[in-house]
C-alpha cells in the first residue's frame, strides 16, 4: 500500500516528465518554424523594401542570344515587338518603379490564330516562371503597383501605351532578375489577364556613344575636296527625334 509521502514523490516525478516533454516539443516546433522561415526567405525574396541585389545568386548559365527566351507553344507576338539597342524601362522592385537602362525587347502576347486552345494566363505565367528559374533567375516582385507610384513616374515613362506596355493600373506584374557576373544583369517583367499577356526583357548595358565632334576645318576640307560634307545624325527608330 502506497503511503501519502510516496504519492507526493510519484506525482512530482510525473509532473517533471510532462514538463520536460512539453519543453522538448516546443523546441522541436521552434526548430521546424525556423527551418520553414529560412526556406521561404531563400526561395521567395520578400517585397518589404529590403531587396538587396547582392542577395541574389549569380547565374553562370549560358543564356544564348538576346532576348534569350522563345515564346511558349501556342502563343505569338500580337504585333511587331519593340527592339532597341538602348532604352530605359521602369521595373517594380519592392513596389517602387525603378528605372533601368539597357537593351530592350517587349511585346504583347496572344494565342496563335490557328491555336485549338484558348488563352491561358496560368500557362503563360508558369511557362516563363519555370524557364527563368531554371537558368538561375529569381522573382523579385509579384503584385500590383500602387497608383501613387504610377502617378509619380508617369511623366518619365513616356513609352507607356506602346507595344508591350503593361497595364499596371489593372493587372499584377511579376519581375524577375537573372544576375550575371559581368554586370549585364537581365530583368524581365511579365503580366497577364484573361485574354493576353505582356513580356518585357531588358539586359543592362551602357550607351554606346555614336556622336562625334564635327570640326569646322574638316567640314571645309570635305567641301573643297569632294564638294560635299557628310554629317551623320542618329534618329530614334521610326521617330523624328
Task: Locate the domains of the chain by residue range.
Answer: 1-43, 53-204
Looking at residue 13, what is its pLDDT?
46
Looking at residue 19, what is its pLDDT?
52
**Three-state SS at 88:** strand
pLDDT tens column, 86-127: 999 999 999 999 999 999 999 999 999 998 899 999 999 999
Looking at residue 172, what is its pLDDT?
97
Buried b / exposed e along 157-175 (16+ C-beta atoms within 10 A): bebeeeebbbebeeebbbb
C-beta atoms surrounding 74 within 10 Å: 17
Looking at residue 49, what is its pLDDT?
53
Task: With a cut of 50, say whether residue 42 has pLDDT above it.
Answer: no
pLDDT tens column, 207-225: 999 988 877 787 888 889 8
Q: Which residue has the higher pLDDT, 184 or 36?
A: 184
Looking at residue 198, what is its pLDDT?
98
Looking at residue 222, what is its pLDDT?
83
Looking at residue 37, what is its pLDDT?
36
pLDDT tens column, 129-187: 999 999 999 999 999 999 999 999 999 999 999 999 999 999 999 999 999 999 999 99
Q: Please give the sequence-ordered ranges of beta strands (E in DSSP) within 94-217, or none if there are none.
A: 96-111, 138-143, 173-178, 186-192, 197-204
Q: Which residue has the higher pLDDT, 39 or 2?
A: 2
Task: With a cut of 80, say whether residue 7 has pLDDT above it.
Answer: no
Task: With a cut of 70, say whether residue 3 has pLDDT above it.
Answer: no
Looking at residue 47, what is its pLDDT?
44
Looking at residue 129, what is its pLDDT?
98
pLDDT tens column, 12-35: 444 444 454 555 555 555 444 444
Cell triple for residue 216?
569646322
pLDDT tens column, 45-84: 444 457 899 999 999 999 999 999 999 999 999 999 999 9
Helix (H) or strand (E) holding 226: helix 216-226
Peptide bond into 67 cis (omega under 30): yes
Amino acid at each position: 500500500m502506497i503511503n501519502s509521502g510516496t504519492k507526493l514523490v510519484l506525482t512530482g516525478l510525473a509532473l517533471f516528465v510532462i514538463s520536460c516533454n512539453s519543453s522538448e516539443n516546443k523546441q522541436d516546433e521552434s526548430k521546424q518554424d525556423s527551418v520553414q522561415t529560412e526556406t521561404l526567405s531563400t526561395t521567395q525574396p520578400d517585397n518589404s523594401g529590403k531587396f538587396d541585389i547582392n542577395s541574389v545568386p549569380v547565374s553562370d548559365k549560358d543564356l544564348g542570344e538576346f532576348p534569350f527566351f522563345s515564346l511558349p507553344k501556342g502563343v505569338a507576338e500580337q504585333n511587331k515587338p519593340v527592339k532597341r539597342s538602348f532604352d530605359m524601362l521602369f521595373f517594380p522592385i519592392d513596389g517602387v518603379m525603378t528605372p533601368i537602362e539597357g537593351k530592350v525587347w517587349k511585346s504583347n502576347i496572344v494565342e496563335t490564330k490557328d491555336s485549338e486552345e484558348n488563352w491561358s494566363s496560368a500557362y503563360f505565367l508558369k511557362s516563363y516562371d519555370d524557364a527563368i528559374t531554371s537558368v538561375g533567375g529569381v522573382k523579385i516582385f509579384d503584385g500590383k503597383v500602387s497608383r501613387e507610384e504610377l502617378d509619380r513616374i508617369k511623366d518619365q515613362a513616356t513609352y507607356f501605351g506602346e507595344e508591350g506596355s503593361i497595364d499596371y493600373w489593372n493587372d499584377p506584374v511579376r519581375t524577375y532578375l537573372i544576375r550575371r557576373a559581368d554586370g549585364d544583369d537581365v530583368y524581365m517583367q511579365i503580366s497577364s489577364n484573361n485574354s493576353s499577356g505582356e513580356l518585357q526583357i531588358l539586359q543592362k548595358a551602357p550607351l554606346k556613344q555614336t556622336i562625334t565632334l564635327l570640326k569646322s576645318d574638316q567640314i571645309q576640307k570635305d567641301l573643297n575636296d569632294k564638294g560635299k560634307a557628310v554629317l551623320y545624325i542618329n534618329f530614334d527608330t521610326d521617330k523624328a527625334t
